[in-house]
Structure formats: C-alpha cells, structure tokens
A and B are shown apart, each in its own frame.
Chain A
Amino acid sequence: DQQVKQNSPSLSVQEGRISILNCDYTNSMFDYFLWYKKYPAEGPTFLISISSIKDKNEDGRFTVFLNKSAKHLSLHIVPSQPGDSAVYFCAASARNAGNMLTFGGGTRLMVKP
C-alpha cells in the first residue's frame, strides 16, 4: 500500500537552517493531511495539519504546504533546532473513509548543533 509516500528515509540539517520534509500521495479522495513527530518508544505526536481547501498552514516554526495538483505536501521547519531530531510522519485522511489515517513511511530528521 503506497498511497502515502515519504521518499527520503533520512535528512540531516545544521541547527538554524531550514528542514524540508516531503510527502507524496496518490489517492485523490484524501482531503486532510497531517504531520506527526515521533520519538523512540513514544507514540506519534501531532504537529500540524492542513485541509485540502488550503495550500498553506503555519504554526510557529512549522509550515505545511500542499500542492493538490501534484499530490505533494511538504513540512518546513525554520529555524531547525536539535530538539527537532525525530522521525516525522506524513498522514492523510478522507472524510468519507471514517477519517482513518494512512501514514507514510517516515523521515528521520537529524539536526546537528
């Protein structure tokens, strides 16, 4: 099942720089997209989300961009901090499918001091 894909398994950035995490999806029925952050031995923590009627949503250092025509979304973190080091999951849901989340495989972000 490759409905949601995160093609980069890992990303390394310098503290203070921008981190860009990417996510692609194939199911055009998805109408809501979410980013979760996960530390080892913990559950996913909700970060930020975006509805399909928008193309951008911002919350502090985190911004999510949605390109519906390309079925692509990205999460920008600026400035990146060492505490941001974690695995980031993109997830998508469709209101007509009970809002179950379909997850990507995750990208491990490492922010170097």
Chain B
Amino acid sequence: EPEVTQTPSHQVTQMGQEVILRCVPISNHLYFYWYRQILGQKVEFLVSFYNNEISEKSEIFDDQFSVERPDGSNFTLKIRSTKLEDSAMYFCASKGTSVDNEQFFGPGTRLTVL
C-alpha cells in the first residue's frame, strides 16, 4: 500500500542552525502539507502546497520556514534558524485531488533543538 515517508526520523540540532526535513508523498498525490505537534499539544497546521506554490499557511509559518518540491518526488520543510520552541514532531501529509478530503500522514520527524 502506498505511504508517505519522512526522513530523518529524529533530528537533533543546535539553536540557530538550519534544518531540512524531507518527505516523499504518495506518488500520484497533488496536494502536500506540513503539520507539527509540540509535546503535549495539538497537531497544528503549518502550510499547504499545490502546483509548486504555497496555497495556505498558518501564522506559525513565518519567514524562518520555507517549503520546496525540488525534484517532483521530495517535499521539504526548511527551518532557517532553529529556535528552542521549534522542537516538535513534524508530520508531512498528502492528498490526491481537490475532490479528496482525506490526508495521509507520514510517520513524522522528531526535531530536537538544543
């Protein structure tokens, strides 16, 4: 069964460093998303991406964040200068078409900022 994959599973970084989280969405999907879950809190929407551009973003998704689909298969989230409060689980999700509503999630990347 097709699935969303994410790498790495755990990333540890120093405050102020740049990190890139990688996702491979389900191959025929067109819509891509990043969410995060800080420990003990809700899963929160960060950004949605369609047709090579951002379609929606939350107030969390400030100038420190960027997304890219560099090669038609990977979907990446870059955090330019990490802060302690960026420590969270980051989930990538994808969905097939505009008619579909179900989003399928990857296993997540645990980001720890020291």
Interface residues of A (CB under 8 A from B): 1, 32, 34, 36, 41-46, 49, 51, 89, 91, 93, 97-106
Interface residues of B (CB under 8 A from A): 4, 6, 31, 33, 35, 41-45, 48, 55-56, 58, 91, 93, 95, 101-108
Roughly how many angstroms separate A32 CA and B31 CA in the complex, as a whole number?
17
Question: Apart from A49-B102, A99-B31, A101-B103, what 18 extra A-B contacts exist at CB < 8 Å?
Answer: A34-B101, A34-B102, A34-B103, A43-B6, A43-B91, A43-B93, A43-B107, A44-B43, A44-B105, A46-B104, A89-B43, A98-B56, A99-B48, A99-B101, A100-B58, A102-B45, A105-B41, A106-B42
Nearest to A36 among chain B residues (CB) is: B105
Q: Least Cβ distance of A24 to chain B in Å? A: 14
Nearest to A98 among chain B residues (CB) is: B56
Contact present for A43 and B106 (CB under 8 Å)? yes
Contact present for B103 and A97 (CB under 8 Å)? no
* Residue among A43, A44, A101, A106 facing the most chain B CB atoms (10 A cut-off): A43
